[in-house]
Structures are given as structure tokens and as C-alpha cells.
């Protein structure tokens, strides 16, 4: 039986194809409108900031967020938020490597203890290996192996 063309969900029906095209066009228009609003808002914000800077320069007031040439602190919104783990506030020179793990590297690694369960497993394996080796060496120390020991063992 060929009843597929009668189903409402049939993907090749003209009605469904038209609906998909309409939905895609609507989504594209909404996306374009959203991008245009974001661009306009960004443009407006930049314009306000530039006008404020220009007004302060005419009155010789310092602009908040700008830095002087000899100051190495990071300005305004780019400044790091101090927290318990890392707080980077100054960059020493432009070409210098930034090491985020300097505090960890400075800590004494010998004072840290490893996983006690793992260490116990390693010791047990070593002990078992030593017992195995000791058995073979023990028989060698007693004397040469006789034919009876070879066939018995």
C-alpha cells in the first residue's frame, strides 16, 4: 500500500516544504534583527564612552579606567577579580612568561604524602615478588637440585 503521501508528516509534501522554508526565513530574520540590536547597543555604548573621555580631556580630569605609562596595573573591566586561588594584579614586563602555578611550584613536594592505599598495594606486590625470588634463591643456597627435586617439583 502506498499511503505515505496522505500522511501529514510526509517530508516531501509541498505543504511541509513550504512550512520549513517559512520557518527558516523567520528564524534568519530574527537572528539578523538580534545581531543588529547588539551592534547598535555596542555602538551606542562606545559613543557614550568616547564622549565622556572627550569631555574629561577638555576639563583635564583623569579618565577612570585609563592608566599612566609607568603604572603596570591592569585597568578597568580587564582587572582580575581576586579570589582564594589566584589574584594576578601586575604584569612585570611585556615579554615575560606568566606562571599561574608559581605558588604550587614553591610548595615543598616532599612534605606531601601519596595515596596510602596505592602505597600499600605496591608494598604488597614487592613483598610477594621478594618471597618468590627468595624461594628460588633459597633452594640454590641449599645445594644442587637433585633428580628427585626436579621430578617432584
Give a yes or no: residue 36 inside a domain.
yes
Give a yes or no: residue 75 inside a domain.
no
- Give the pLDDT score at 112: 63
Split into its structural domains, the chain has a count of 2
Q: Which residues of the chain have pLDDT under 50?
A: 69-74, 84-89
Give me the domain span that covers residue 148.
116-152
**d(Cα 149, Cα 12) in Å, to the nearest integer?**
85
What confidence tens digit (pLDDT) does each residue in 14-49 have?
Answer: 999 999 999 999 999 999 999 999 999 999 999 999
Give a yes or no: residue 42 inside a domain.
yes
Give a yes or no: residue 124 inside a domain.
yes
Give a yes or no: residue 57 inside a domain.
yes
- Here the cell at position 119 is 602505597
CB distance 80 to 61 below 8 Å: no
Give a yes or no: residue 37 inside a domain.
yes
CB distance 91 to 74 below 8 Å: yes
Last residue of a domain, one of 63, 79, 97: 63
- Give the pLDDT score at 39: 96
The residues that bridge with 73 in the sheet, in sequence order, are 90
Last residue of a domain, one of 40, 63, 86: 63
Give a yes or no: residue 69 inside a domain.
no
- Here the cell at position 44 is 551606542
- Give the pLDDT score at 69: 47
Cα separations (Å) of 123 from 28, 115, 127, 128, 132? 66, 12, 6, 9, 14
Give a yes or no: residue 135 inside a domain.
yes
CB distance 119 to 112 below 8 Å: no
- Give the pLDDT score at 60: 74
Amino acid at each position: 500500500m502506498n499511503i505515505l503521501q496522505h500522511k501529514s508528516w510526509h517530508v516531501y509534501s509541498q505543504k511541509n516544504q513550504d512550512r520549513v522554508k517559512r520557518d527558516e526565513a523567520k528564524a534568519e530574520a530574527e537572528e539578523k534583527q538580534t545581531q543588529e540590536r547588539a551592534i547598535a547597543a555596542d555602538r551606542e555604548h562606545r559613543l557614550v564612552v568616547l564622549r565622556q573621555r572627550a569631555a574629561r580631556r577638555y576639563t583635564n580630569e583623569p579618565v577612570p579606567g585609563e592608566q599612566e605609562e609607568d603604572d603596570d596595573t591592569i585597568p578597568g573591566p580587564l582587572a582580575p577579580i581576586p579570589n582564594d586561588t589566584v589574584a594576578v594584579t601586575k604584569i612585570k614586563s611585556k615579554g615575560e612568561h606568566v606562571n599561574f602555578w608559581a605558588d604550587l611550584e614553591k610548595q615543598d613536594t616532599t612534605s606531601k604524602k601519596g595515596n596510602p592505599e596505592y602505597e600499600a598495594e605496591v608494598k604488597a606486590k614487592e613483598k610477594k615478588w621478594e618471597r618468590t625470588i627468595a624461594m628460588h634463591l633459597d633452594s640454590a643456597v641449599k645445594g644442587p637440585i637433585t633428580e628427585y627435586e626436579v621430578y617432584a617439583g
